[in-house]
Chains A and B, each alone.
Chain A
Amino acid sequence: MIKGNFIDNLPKVYGIYTGGFLGFIIIMSIAEQMGMTAKTIGICFVAFTVAIYAIIGYLSRTAQADAYYVAGRQVPTVFNGMATAADWMSGASFVAMAGGIYFKGYGYMALLVGWTGGYVLVASLLAPYLRKFGCYTVPDFIGTRYGGNLSRFMAVVVLTVASFTYVTAQINATGTIASVALDIPFQYAVYVGLISILLCSMLGGMRGVTWTQVAQYIVLIIAYLLPVFWISNKMGAGFFPHFMLADEVSRIAELEAQFGFVKNTAENLKEVPKGLAGITKAHSAVNATPWAFISLALAMMMGTASLPHVMMRYFTTPSVKAARKSVGWSLFFIFLLYSSAPMLATLSKLSLIDPSLPTGIIGKSIAEVQSIDWYQNWNQANLMFVSDFNGNGTLELNEFFMGGKAVVLATPEIAGLPYVISGLVAAGGMAAAMSTADGLILAIANAISHDVYYKIIDPKAETAKRLVVARVLLVVIGFAGATIAALEIQGILGSVIWAFDFAMSGLFFPLVLGVWWKRANKEGAIAGMFLGLVSGAAYLVWVRTGGSGFLGITQLTFGIFGSAVSLVAMVVVSLMTQAPNAATQKMVDEVRVPAGKSILGKQH
């Protein structure tokens, strides 16, 4: 079933899969009517979907290097787009994004613009050229274009720093969801999450990850869109929320003006559990300076173009032409979710704060709010909190606090949707976090096994031995990530943004100039990667330890400083040293033309 005509049958296979998943949702909702408990539904959703991914992972097992590293370079455009979208949209996008918009409004939406605009850079500057190159990994491109083991090794270092920062957050997210859905302690749930992740990638490498990511995209997009449309209809806000929420947005602005943003005293805020926030920023007004918005968007865009787990997805397409189109499809599938997040934030906020809606809690008495079922549930989960700061017995806007995750996780329940939707959302969050974690762990393990082990340490190694090394590394890196995740050092969103900054500091200019500037040479690239990463990291440490920063560059945008240093270092050092030799220049010329053989052979 899987080989040969599997590719031709893809629409049918995933069509049946989607139908099966919808059928499963219906069965679960019937079971709920018949009295299945909420807990059992949650377990069923997570266990059923993870089992399916594991089966796909098993069926995609392979013993060939090009299938393991680049899925045999035969993934069709649209399906690669779906896989990239799942690879891209992490637990943070799924669980935390709507919450960020809900609390921070305009200032946060720079991330939406940045995380989509980056794909224009991917499509126009990099992806088609790296596909033509025919590399297995991103350091493979750096190492061959610039030459020398040191440049290759530096690229592996940057890739590992950026991806590892990112992956701990994803394993953390799988752990959070698994611990809630399966009702086990977080420290164990992290490892349950990890094993699910490894089931998808261990046997099939990139091929396994590709086909599970497509399956995960289908689950996560259904899980995100279904509640948004349902809530919107239930509230009478419009059957197609994206085009019809203008009244709701202006109603929120009206209510904000009516309630006012009362500032709480530090004394009062001490009572509020850690991680919860109140509504302090306007929903749709511009509440950030142009530079604060633009610098964050720019950092995310350049980071997008430098993150190896995204770039390597475009190595799997059959042609250069397909790589370009595939970037477009990726962004389309991402757009479906990203354009819905602000709508969910709007619906969630209005349903909570509008006193004229039955679900609105602002203006009710504190005692009444505290007796609501869903309030008690989410208060127990440490995601909601109310307190009567001014002692008037009524809940004011500044007296209501919520965790960022609650917007996605709790809104269905608040709006009165059946529990089956909450189970579905848990499965969607799990799919989002798993698919990103898989892509990242594979990117690190492949870079170390291919670029460090095979290209530097033992170039004569047999394919079988290389793949054993790759798989061992996969497990080791996964466990290292899970162990750090279990320590719960950083919040999900913070470390995700850092990963973008690290990646752009070290890799953006060495990658882009490798294609677009023939004069760029080995010494320049090494200086660019090294100084970029080091200066970016130093800036982060400086700001974190009380440094004031400059030019309004914060700990979220330190990559702007790092990449500027990287660019200057690369240009200066390149010009001071010898131009690359004729063979390298010719290689760059060939990369710029889609036709003809790839630079690196099919098996290398």
Chain B
Amino acid sequence: MSKQEQHWEKSKGLLMMTLAIWFVFSIGIFLFGAEMNEVTGPFGYPLTYWFTCQGSLGIFVILIFWFANRQEKIDEEFGFSERGDD
């Protein structure tokens, strides 16, 4: 497998992982919205309510930064990162 193919395989793996986490917090948990809301979540809010106000939103922010860092590592590993800095 060429270097480029390996790089793409790894990038696809990262994508799958990112989308899986995204799926859980944007869709998966809301399948059980009614049940989850019986539980008390962070800061004392009902759990589903908290996810819709802060939880899912905050997790998305962290997820994107995590994804960006991981992808940068993959690019560096194969020598595909750009010169210069942002």
Give A contacts to B, CB under 8 Å: 76-77, 106, 109-110, 112-114, 116-117, 119-121, 123-125, 128, 242-247, 249-250, 284-286, 288, 290, 293-294, 297-298, 301, 317-322, 324-325, 327-328, 331-332, 335, 338-339, 342-343, 589, 592-595
A246 nearest in chain B by CB position: B44
How many pairs, one residue from A and one from B, have CB atoms within 8 Å of each other in the complex?
153
- Inside 8 A of A592's CB, which chain B residues have their CB? 4, 7-8, 11
What is the CB-to-nearest-CB distance from A548 to chain B, in angstroms, rounded to a whole number?
25
A328 and B57 form a contact (CB under 8 A): no
Beyond A249-B49, A321-B82, list 8 extra A-B contacts (CB 8 Å): A120-B63, A123-B64, A245-B45, A290-B31, A325-B86, A331-B64, A339-B53, A342-B53
Q: Given A327-B64, A328-B65, A589-B4, do A109 and B52 touch, yes or no (CB 8 Å)?
A: yes
B44 and A297 form a contact (CB under 8 A): no
Instruction: Identify which of residues 29-44 in chain B touch chain A, using a CB-to-CB cut-off of 8 Å.
Output: 30-34, 37, 43-44
A319 nearest in chain B by CB position: B82
Q: Mark B54-65, 1 if CB is under 8 A from A, else 0.
A: 101110110111
Q: Given A106-B33, A290-B30, do A123 and B67 touch, yes or no (CB 8 Å)?
A: yes
Q: Most chain-A CB neighbours within 10 Å: which of B26, B27, B45?
A: B26
What are 15 A-B residue pairs whose CB atoms fall within 8 Å in the complex?
A116-B61, A120-B63, A120-B67, A242-B43, A244-B43, A249-B45, A286-B48, A298-B26, A324-B64, A324-B68, A328-B68, A331-B60, A338-B57, A592-B7, A593-B80
Q: Given A112-B53, A294-B27, do A117 and B60 touch, yes or no (CB 8 Å)?
A: yes
B83 nearest in chain A by CB position: A595
What is the CB-to-nearest-CB distance from A330 to chain B, in angstroms, rounded to a whole number?
9
Number of interface residues of B (CB under 8 A): 47
What is the CB-to-nearest-CB distance from A582 to chain B, in angstroms, rounded to a whole number?
15
- Inside 8 A of A116's CB, which chain B residues have their CB? 56-57, 60-61
Distance in angstroms between the alpha carbons of A243 and B25 in the assembled complex: 20
B57 and A335 form a contact (CB under 8 A): yes
Distance in angstroms between the alpha carbons of A325 and B68 in the assembled complex: 6
Distance in angstroms between the alpha carbons of A76 and B81 in the assembled complex: 18
- Inside 8 A of B61's CB, which chain A residues have their CB? 116, 328, 331-332, 335
What is the CB-to-nearest-CB distance from A588 to chain B, in angstroms, rounded to a whole number?
10
A124 and B30 form a contact (CB under 8 A): no
- Inside 8 A of A328's CB, which chain B residues have their CB? 61, 64-65, 68
B80 and A319 form a contact (CB under 8 A): no
Q: Given A328-B64, A331-B64, A592-B11, do A113 and B46 touch, yes or no (CB 8 Å)?
A: no
A339 and B57 form a contact (CB under 8 A): yes
- Inside 8 A of A117's CB, which chain B residues have their CB? 22, 25-26, 56, 60
Distance in angstroms between the alpha carbons of A119 and B22 in the assembled complex: 10
Distance in angstroms between the alpha carbons of A325 and B71 in the assembled complex: 11
Distance in angstroms between the alpha carbons of A322 and B49 in the assembled complex: 34
B58 and A335 form a contact (CB under 8 A): yes
B64 and A286 form a contact (CB under 8 A): no
